[in-house]
Amino acid sequence: HLSFLISLLDYGITTEYSIFSDTFHCRMIIFQILLIVFLSPKCYGLLPSTLPAIQTRIISCASSASSSASLWSHAEEQQLQEFIDVSGGKRHCEIAETKFGRGLVATKDLKPNEEVLRIPLSCITMQTTDDDNNNDYWAGRLAAKLLATKQQNDDCPYISCLPEPPSIPSRDWPLTILEEFQNPDWLRDVCLAQEWRYNQWSNYQQTTNHPYDVSNDIVLEEDNFLFSSASLSFKDNEDDRPVFLDCLDLVCSRTIRTGRTLQLVPFLDMANHASREEGGGYYKKGNDDFIGLYAGERGISKGGEVTLDYGRRSNEDWLLHYGFLPNRNLVETVELGKNRIISWDDVGTANEALKQDCRILLDAFETTLQEDQLLLRDFHEKVPASEDFRYTLALQYRIARKILLSAVAGQKTART
């Protein structure tokens, strides 16, 4: 078992599962997975012949944002809670394990619209948006503030409890997975997101007087949409780049907005997403000295999860910023070409030309809606050795688009 462990660990550390590989993170996740595997009574019968399958699974798990493996401890969670309490915050919730992973649970019964959490502005990291939002450099500046806090005070309760950045397409998703989305425009979106991330880093280098050289080799070929990641070479402080990009991805997935101010709000940003229709709560600024989180229209029972509605956005935006898809996106759209976009508001249309365009796009896909639904249902049984949450997301994305197209085309589906 010892030799098996060593070979497995070596494989995981030396394999480049991402262009932004974090060796320490890789080691920690693999070590935690191995502990689970080898402490399970069912694993003592493992044979060396199973090594390739297990290796594949471990590398997949190491890059999975859905993994709940955390590098912080319950003691650090307690420190964060105590920090909020002594700083003048008020809360009727605590950090706990939920069905979505780490999140917040209510410590008492909460009525609809009742205040769940109050965080003083003194605990919040803020950045005002640019007058010209074309480059969105506010995100890079907020990431720089987070990076500075990390470097100057790594034992800060908030910093200690931050999770790993989400696994988003522009960060570490291979082309083989991106092609599974069956949407060429999606590949362009990912390329643009990659370029945006590097622009944020370049601006950070300029504003902090760090000399740098940038050569951007993002390639987008019209026929096959192949691309390579941006190539950056720096004269110094290159070690800051992956840490800065980690901070940037955390900012993009955890920031809330009030007016022109973007904010990282400790504790509140641990709330998982649920739409308002699903009981998700909301936040608002109160009396210019705190941000409050409030229960949704259903209220929350003691011990129930406290969730937050992250807002309305396209499925592409959900994936690019958060690395997941909501259960059902009521504001989902599909572009038909020539600036024609359909939404759920188009279901039941009498426009036969629009219906026909939807049918044409459905026929152009490599797989049908029914085939995708079967693939998703049977995925774990058919390919357990290469299970990957990103492939599952690709199937869910394809299914959601085809369900909307079918509904507008007037075709019956399981969800319509």
Question: In the predicted model, what is the mean pLDDT of the chain?
Answer: 77
Confidence bin at 173 (pLDDT 50/70/90): very high
- Give pLDDT, residue 387: 58
Residues 6+ away with beta carbon under 8 Å from 258: 284, 285, 291
Among 62-71, 136-145, 189-198, 292-301, whose mean pLDDT is lowest? 62-71
Tell me the DSSP string of 382-408: H-GGG--HHHHHHHHHHHHHHHHHHHH
Confidence bin at 189 (pLDDT 50/70/90): very high
What is the per-residue pLDDT across 313-348, written as a single tens digit (0 to 9) for each? 999 999 999 999 998 898 999 999 877 899 999 999
Q: How many CA atoms lie within 13 A of 85 on its CB side?
A: 9
- Give pLDDT, residue 151: 86
* Rounded Cα–Cα distance for residues 13 and 27 (Å): 6
What is the per-residue pLDDT across 44-95, written as a single tens digit (0 to 9) for each? 333 333 333 333 333 333 333 333 334 456 888 999 999 999 999 999 999 9
**Helix ranges (DSSP H) in 129-273:** 137-152, 157-161, 169-172, 175-178, 184-207, 240-254
Among 14-28, 137-151, 228-242, 373-387, whose mean pLDDT is lowest? 14-28
